[in-house]
Structure 1
């Protein structure tokens, strides 16, 4: 898709004829045209977190294509401009400014990652641009004072609480170590784990870190192995976490490995191969293979139509849900489509039934879901949803 910069020159290039400054000023809102609405996304499409950005984009596009096939939303088709940030904050900043200032997008959707969201969100907040469905459970994005931020998924605090609850109650584990990415993402996970442990009068037996966009986990593994943990909880994307687990198996570290949803479950299983059996991943969306849930059945159909080669997965399902919320909310906007109206509509409507899965918002609640789901990797690399952990 070609996106022209807004203004008189673009109008002339597009063959719309002469247009006055008054006409330009009168046009609704940035990114809103008579026949389309333009959205932007900055995410990782290359590097160790690429599967996450690609999955989110694939899911969002599936939902947009589905809506566009029946005329879009009130006659406007939905379009997405995506730029690669490589999971690096500085690139996310540049992309965000480009999307807002040059592409003139209506809203940003599907940002991927805590450090990148931490960099991009202040820019969108200052500009009054909706920041919808970031792929992160970071607590700072749940601050109700951020009126332009709309979250879909549960928080990392909710995921980490579920980790410690199931490890202690289901398995009787007391010796827990953590591996985390040494940045705002990893520290958000560490904070959640620490709170969950303190709640139970427990402390971590060891901590290990690695740098973002690397798989340099050997030093962390050796430090954690010395402590003899019964479980290692992990806060990172799929490549370094897979590297850690494979090396841990070679060193005969007999522990339960538990990963956060951001890891990218399907990509993790693929990276692990035969080392994946028994690895736990918490999820914040329903099981993407459970077509008894209307949302999931609709997602699978839309994904295959948009891309016949696409594989169903947790990440693209989350992207699809982001797109569905946008579509549902736009359809309920009364009057002109503006950024402010979209945001107020989400808060005022409050409840959005996506088909067996409900998102709920309120004046001081910008997070749609609270559920955390447990999954375990099988020997063949597939996932099994479970209600409790078993050895």
Structure 2
């Protein structure tokens, strides 16, 4: 909702928006928003990958969804419908809720009789907690699919009951995996920052700070490849050029006419039989 209100204002001002923290599909329309430079994967791509995994790896055939009744939730609903349609499957049950209320509980009740294998939660972290707690209290055993908007660590700390089985989509690499060059440089930079700034001593590596690090380095790389004095127009032309930008071993690349620079999705699966993470990239 915030991006939908903000993006047109900045478009009229011809102000570049780089690395907006939203996967909303409407922001990936370059004709509509030529000033937006997306560095993260869309919710639509996350949804497609989650559906594919649930269908092919978990054998799911009966799909439902609980979604926030706003631009974010409806966008995910449309992507979910399209992903299932491609597999010849319908959405068997769906329910929406208002983001500022606790009516997500009633959405869980509405899906109870559908005998579902999977429920996609197009929700924020707080509402995902409420929905999963209610579902498990009622004895529902379906798998839950969650987008990158959900904070895994906060969700796990907040739940009263086990949430497995579940599959989470992540759009950043694992900040603990130092075999990735980007992650090594990020952790080294953060360690140097903590050492130089006592107020930053408590900061720990996380996906959001990694995303901010990528955005910062991308902007520097774009400016470095501009031969002339930068202007808004020249910056956008350089940022959205088809020549890839390499940030260590992380590559941001825009197809001709596109403003989406990444389609990276990492899936993390939790199961009742195996509580350890199984990652698919």
- TM (normalized to structure 1)? 0.65
Is 1:123 aligned to 2:15, yes or no?
no
d(CA) in 1 for partners of 2:271, 2:114: 27
d(CA) in 1 for partners of 2:169, 2:99: 21
Q: Aligned with 1:374: secondary structure? A: strand
Aligned to 1:159: 46
- TM (normalized to structure 2)? 0.89
Q: Aligned with 2:241: secondary structure? A: helix
Q: 8 Å contact 2:136–2:161 — kept in the other structure?
A: no
Is 1:254 aligned to 2:141, yes or no?
yes
Of 175, 179, 182, which aligns to 2:66? Answer: 179
Aligned to 2:179: 292
Q: Aligned with 1:247: secondary structure? A: helix
Aligned to 2:213: 320
Aligned to 1:238: 125
Q: How many angstroms does 1:277 deviate by?
A: 4.3
Q: Aligned with 2:47: secondary structure? A: helix
Aligned length: 272
Aligned to 1:271: 158
Provide runs of 4+ in structure 1 moved above 4 Å: none
d(CA) in 2 for partners of 1:328, 1:383: 38
Aligned to 1:7: none
Is 1:373 aligned to 2:260, yes or no?
no
Distance 1:184 1:383, change over 3 A: farther
RMSD: 2.1
Q: Aligned with 2:57: secondary structure? A: helix
Distance 1:301 1:264, change over 3 A: same
Q: Aligned with 2:149: secondary structure? A: helix
Distance 1:227 1:116, change over 3 A: same
Of 218, 242, 266, which aligns to 2:105? Answer: 218
Q: How many angstroms does 1:216 deviate by?
A: 3.0
Aligned to 1:138: 24
Q: How many angstroms does 1:385 deviate by?
A: 4.9
d(CA) in 2 for partners of 1:206, 1:229: 8
Aligned to 1:357: 250
d(CA) in 2 for partners of 1:359, 1:215: 39
Q: 8 Å contact 1:234–1:257 — kept in the other structure?
A: yes
Of 329, 335, 339, which aligns to 2:228? Answer: 335
d(CA) in 1 for partners of 2:256, 2:73: 29
d(CA) in 1 for partners of 2:219, 2:69: 33
Aligned to 1:53: none
Q: How many angstroms does 1:331 deviate by?
A: 2.1
Aligned to 2:197: none
d(CA) in 1 for partners of 2:161, 2:210: 25
